[in-house]
Every structure is written in C-alpha cells, then in structure tokens.
C-alpha cells in the first residue's frame, strides 16, 4: 500500500525538495538519545527494590530490546524517529528516482535497525565478553580486530560528518549507506517576522548582555552593607570591642562565632570568615553597619548564665 496516497503534502514533492537544516537533523539525534535514556531510567525504576546489580549481566540485551520496541513504533511504522516527528521531518528513500516522497523500504528499515541497534549492542556485549575471557591468542586477535574496526568506523564517521557539514545530507554513515535522507513531513510556510518584534528582541538581548557584563563588577555585599548602615543606629566609637564580646552570631555567616574577632565595630566575626572575605575583597566592610576593616582583633565572648 502506498503510504503517500491521500496525503496532499507529499504529492507535489515540495517538502522533499526543501532541504532540512543541519541543526534540525542533529537536534533530532539529541532528542532520540534523551528519549532512550528516559525509557531506560523508567525501566530500571521497576527493579529498584531488587538485588543491586540484578540487571547488569543482561543490560546490553535489555537496552537493545527497548530500542527495538522504539524502532518498531517509529522507524518501521512511520519512517521517522520521535525526535524527527517533533521537528516535522522524516526519512525519505533517496534511492528512488521518483520526484514525490517515497518512504523507506522494508529492507532499509531492517538494515537501519541492524546498523544502529545492532552496533550498540555489539559494542557493549563485546566489551563485557572480553573482560571475562582469559587472555588467549584467539581472544586477543578478536579484540584487536574489533578495536581496529571501531577505530576505522570512527574515522569514517568523522569524514562523513565533514561531508554532512558541507552538503547538508546524511549525518551518519548508516543513512549514507542505506540511502535514506531526512526531508520535511509537511511543506514549510513562509515565516513573517515583524520589525517591531525583531527590534524588541534585539533590544532585550543587548540589555541582557549588558547586565551579564555589569553584574560581576558590582560588589553586592558592600552595597548591602551600605544600605544597612543607613538604618543602623549611630553609636560612639567607645565600647565597641565590649559590645562585640556580647554578640552571639557572626555577622558574615550568621552562626556562633568561631575564634571571634572584631574589625573595630560592635559586631563579631568568625576568624576564618572575616579572613577569607578580607582576602577576597580588599575593601571589606561590615555587612551589618558598613564599617570598614580597621584592625582585626580577637575578642572574648561573655556568656551570661541563664
């Protein structure tokens, strides 16, 4: 049965002729990877009360089974992954000479599953298999052959990715070998963006970049201390060390002062708090009253009996 029958968006082939953005094709892979991780995490939650490591010996097979189920209800039935469906794209049989859209053939779908799901399973299973086998000559040769093929595949994938960046087609080797290409599912309409919207976006982005540049330059701690000092009561200079001795919390961390010290005002500080802040900020001031650091002196705490 022709899957394009009754679909007016596929009759003229306009959607297949419009090239898909490279970023859209790469975003589809990221969405598919996130979906696989989500399905696997939800599956493992079903066995969270079992013995730890219960699924480890069968983890490659279980992952392949879940990916096979996703393939059955996405690629096999719709010629599109979940990520592609969200981005309004799908696979097209690029080997067909017809101008209008042609879905993937059955053989292409089966080979697609073998090249994607089978490749992942083989990598995970061969790694665990070689770890449990003794270091024999045959095993060593097989391991060396697989590592060579893996390196060759990575180099080929890198070269294919460079071709994809240049041409905008076939981001993976599997798609290039199978002759399947990503096309739009529906014709793309003309995007009309008003100048008012563009000006608002440009102004907002410029303002956001200005704030990102400005905020690190503002000493928020000193600004807060200056504001608090405006509402603090005016006290004389005398007796400040004595008043600091009766403070039961550090003016910086809010906890009981450890090795209490004073900077010349009536508040107490932990030694390590005030020392580290003084190293980070050479213009350190008291966050309670705004007094600048004059001299760091230890104080003795007077604990009144209850």
9-18, 145-154, 174-183, 231-240 — most confident range: 174-183
Q: What is the model's pLDDT at position 187?
A: 77
The CATH 3.30.40 portion of the chain extends over: 220-298
pLDDT of residue 306 exceeding 60, the answer is no
pLDDT of residue 205 exceeding 80, the answer is yes
Tokens of 282: 């050479």
> For residues 82 and 70, is the Cβ–Cβ distance under 8 A?
yes
Q: What is the model's pLDDT at position 63?
A: 92
Give the pairing of strands 261-262 and 180-184.
unpaired
Tens-place pLDDT, residues 245-260: 556 788 888 788 888 8
Average pLDDT over residues 75-100: 88
Residue keyed to tokens 């760091």: 296
Q: What is the model's pLDDT at position 2?
A: 44
Q: Is 37 exposed, middle or buried (0-12, 13-18, 19+ CB in 10 A)?
A: exposed
Alpha carbons 109 and 104: distance in angstroms, whole number: 6
> For residues 158 and 170, is the Cβ–Cβ distance under 8 A?
no
> 191 or 47: whose pLDDT is higher?
47
Task: Record the pTM.
Answer: 0.56
**Which pLDDT band, with edges at 50, 70 and 90, does 91 fall under?**
very high
Q: What is the model's pLDDT at position 285?
A: 76
Q: Candidates 3.30.70, 3.30.40, 3.40.50, 1.10.3470; correct CATH number of 220-298?
A: 3.30.40
């Amino acid at each position: 049965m022709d899957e394009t029958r009754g679909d007016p968006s596929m009759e003229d082939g306009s959607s297949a002729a419009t090239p898909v953005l490279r970023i859209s094709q790469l975003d589809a892979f990221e969405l598919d990877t996130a979906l696989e991780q989500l399905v696997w995490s939800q599956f493992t939650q079903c066995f969270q009360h079992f013995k730890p490591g219960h699924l480890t010996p069968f983890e490659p097979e279980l992952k392949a089974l879940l990916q096979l189920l996703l393939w059955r209800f996405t690629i096999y039935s719709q010629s599109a992954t979940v990520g592609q469906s969200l981005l309004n794209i799908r696979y097209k049989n690029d080997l067909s000479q017809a101008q209008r859209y042609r879905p993937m053939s059955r053989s292409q779908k089966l080979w697609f599953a073998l090249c994607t799901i089978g490749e992942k399973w083989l990598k995970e299973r061969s790694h665990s298999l070689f770890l449990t086998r003794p270091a024999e000559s045959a095993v060593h040769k097989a391991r060396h052959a697989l590592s060579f093929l893996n390196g060759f595949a990575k180099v080929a994938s890198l070269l294919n990715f460079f071709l994809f960046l240049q041409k905008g087609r076939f981001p993976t080797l599997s798609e290039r070998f199978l002759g399947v290409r990503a096309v739009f599912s529906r014709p793309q309409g003309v995007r009309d963006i008003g100048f008012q919207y563009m000006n608002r976006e440009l102004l907002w982005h410029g303002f956001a970049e200005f704030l990102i540049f400005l905020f690190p330059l503002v000493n928020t701690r000193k600004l807060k201390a200056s504001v608090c000092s405006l509402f603090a009561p005016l006290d004389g200079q005398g007796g400040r060390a004595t008043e600091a001795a009766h403070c039961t919390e550090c003016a910086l961390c809010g906890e009981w002062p450890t090795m209490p010290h004073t900077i010349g005002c009536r508040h107490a500080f932990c030694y390590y708090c005030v020392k580290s802040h003084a190293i980070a900020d050479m213009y350190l001031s008291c966050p309670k009253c705004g007094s600048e650091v004059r001299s760091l002196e230890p104080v003795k705490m007077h604990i009144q009996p209850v």
